[in-house]
């Protein structure tokens, strides 16, 4: 470990340097494991009688790899998927002269190249591979190639957990017809269960589809966000966890719903916004978004939810700019915040829920005499607001994009990093309906 210690600098910088070096080493080890796992699978599948895996008492290569590495079968499967992504595919018409044979090309070249350069993790790579393989027979090759390239770029520097939401949104945009069926299945499968356990604690569990969950999540997140802000202003520190705050918020909402006359619930600024592109709204095709969930919804759900007087429909133009913000455009500052939400989608820096954020001046109001307008605003949660201002990050914003420029201590080149929807949502322009029941398109005219 001594060899990994950075020369000079603060102890924190040394630890970060060591962490980055070991993480890179772990990715390199994963690549070796992926290639060896794939070779073990080939020796297991191609040999008579089950080959390598059967000879060692395993049903298949995934079980063999899991047993050897001490990991789970799911982790072994990810290594096998990565190994397949790294290996080349032989050309369709090989030549008899080995010297003239073209180099085999991987099935997913952008994923393979990023893995080979150790730019993305095996987990993120296999998420992309699983999506591409599932849609291979349903989506045009050029759209899949573009999605692969965009997702690889998004995966750099992003955790596998957060990246899963990006992949889920992208998959929905690529195959809207299948996603509509999935939404119908989710709504039919919604449930909430409540019972008392042996210790006298009431256990609450459930599964909600995006439409049902939207107002529930907005209200709970709104109260939790308010509790977080209050804890910073109060003399006594709030020692509750986020889950405990959410439990107290649910209790407060229930008391209020039962006729409580209290007026101190901070929900007057909490909204649920349903957004969709103008062309999709008029055509009746495409996907929309609902605050609080990473799962897109179909046009029918957007229209149904927009008819609710307590929700706000937002209509976007082709470049993602805000065209219409529904019925509640009374207070200027409130409309500004909602418009910022259309660009940032939540905390523009980390992707936290929108109700946990505040609108902040990019050019400070006091120090820089910054204007209170959309070009000078950004949604940031409390943690990221502190990070951006105290660590020296710069921000560049337009009507539809926002970029964060790291300080030289983080990146000497100060390369801009996209934020907001451009980082945490699906790549723009991928959506296209594919209906397997429709008549196939006629072939192009050869003349």
DSSP per-residue string spanning 373-394:
SGGGEEEEEHHHHHHHHHHT-E
For the chain, how many helices (H) and strands (E)?
16, 14
Find the mean pLDDT for residues 423-431. 77
Residue 330 to residues 36, 234, 265, 346, 354: CA-CA distances in angstroms? 63, 31, 21, 22, 20
Instruction: Tell me what pLDDT residue 287 has.
Output: 85
Mean pLDDT across the chain: 79
Q: Are 78 and 126 in contact (CB under 8 A)?
A: yes
44-102 pLDDT, tens digit each: 887 666 688 888 888 888 999 999 999 899 899 989 988 888 876 444 445 455 555 55
Please state the pTM of the whole predicted model.
0.66
Among 189-203, 231-245, 370-384, the minimum mean pLDDT is found in 231-245
Q: Is the pLDDT of residue 7 over 90?
A: no
DSSP of 269-306: T--EEEEEEHHHHHHT-SEEEETT-SS-EEHHHHHHHH
Q: Is the pLDDT of residue 192 over 70?
A: yes
Q: Which two tokens stand for residue 163?
A: 């990246």
256-312 pLDDT, tens digit each: 776 655 555 565 555 677 888 888 877 777 888 887 677 888 887 887 776 554 566
Q: Is the pLDDT of residue 404 over 90?
A: yes
Q: Which of 76, 73, 77, 86 is nearest to 31 (CA)?
A: 86
Three-state secondary structure call for residue 252: helix
Contacts of 321 (CB under 8 A, 6+ apart): 399, 400
Q: What is the distance between the alpha carbons of residues 114 and 277, in angstroms, rounded to a whole number? A: 32
Q: What is the distance between the alpha carbons of residues 208 and 193, in angstroms, rounded to a whole number? A: 11
The percent of residues in the chain predicted with pLDDT above 70, rounded, is 76
Q: Are 414 and 407 in contact (CB under 8 A)?
A: yes
Domain-by-domain residue ranges, the chain?
A: 2-90+100-175, 176-329, 332-430
Q: Are 406 and 137 in contact (CB under 8 A)?
A: no
Q: Which of 206, 202, 216, 201 is nearest to 186 (CA)?
A: 206
β-strand partners of 86: none
134-182 pLDDT, tens digit each: 999 889 999 999 999 999 999 988 899 989 999 999 999 899 888 888 8
């Amino acid at each position: 470990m001594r060899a990994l210690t950075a020369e000079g600098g603060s102890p924190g910088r040394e630890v970060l340097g060591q962490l980055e070096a070991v993480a890179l080493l772990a990715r390199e080890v994963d690549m070796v494991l992926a290639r060896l796992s794939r070779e073990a699978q080939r020796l297991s599948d191609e040999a008579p009688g089950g080959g390598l895996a059967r000879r060692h008492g395993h049903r298949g290569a995934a079980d063999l790899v899991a047993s050897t590495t001490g990991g789970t079968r799911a982790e072994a499967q990810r290594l096998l998927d990565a190994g397949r992504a790294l290996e080349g595919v032989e050309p369709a018409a090989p030549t008899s002269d080995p010297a003239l044979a073209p180099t085999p090309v991987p099935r997913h070249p952008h994923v393979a190249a990023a893995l080979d350069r150790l730019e993305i993790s095996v987990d993120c790579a296999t998420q992309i591979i699983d999506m591409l393989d599932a849609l291979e027979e349903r989506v045009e090759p050029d759209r899949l190639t573009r999605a692969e390239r965009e997702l690889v770029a998004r995966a750099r520097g992003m955790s596998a957990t957060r990246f899963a939401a990006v992949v889920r949104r992208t998959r929905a945009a690529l195959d809207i017809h299948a996603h509509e069926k999935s939404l119908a299945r989710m709504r039919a499968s919604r449930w909430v269960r409540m019972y008392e356990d042996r210790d006298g604690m009431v256990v609450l569990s459930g599964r909600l589809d995006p439409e049902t969950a939207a107002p529930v999540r907005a209200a709970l997140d709104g109260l939790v966000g308010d509790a977080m802000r209050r804890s910073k202003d109060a003399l006594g520190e709030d020692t509750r966890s986020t889950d405990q705050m959410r439990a107290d918020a649910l209790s407060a909402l229930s008391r209020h719903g039962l006729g409580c006359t209290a007026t101190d619930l901070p929900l007057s600024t909490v909204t649920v916004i349903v957004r969709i592109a103008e062309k999709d709204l008029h055509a009746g095709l495409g996907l929309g978004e609902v605050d609080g969930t990473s799962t897109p919804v179909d046009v029918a759900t957007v229209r149904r939810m927009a008819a609710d007087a307590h929700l706000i429909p937002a209509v976007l133009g082709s470049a993602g700019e805000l065209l219409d913000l529904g019925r509640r455009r009374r207070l200027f500052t409130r409309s500004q915040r909602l418009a910022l939400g259309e660009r940032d989608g939540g905390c523009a820096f980390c992707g936290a829920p929108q109700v946990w954020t505040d609108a902040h001046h990019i050019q400070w109001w006091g120090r820089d005499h910054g204007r209170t307008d959309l070009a000078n605003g950004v949604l940031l949660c409390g943690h990221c607001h502190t990070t951006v201002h105290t660590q020296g990050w710069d921000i560049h914003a337009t009507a539809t994009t926002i970029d964060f420029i790291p300080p030289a201590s983080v990146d000497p080149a100060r390369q801009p990093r996209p934020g907001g929807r451009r980082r945490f949502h699906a790549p723009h322009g991928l959506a296209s309906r594919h209906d397997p029941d429709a008549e196939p398109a006629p072939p192009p005219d050869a003349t």
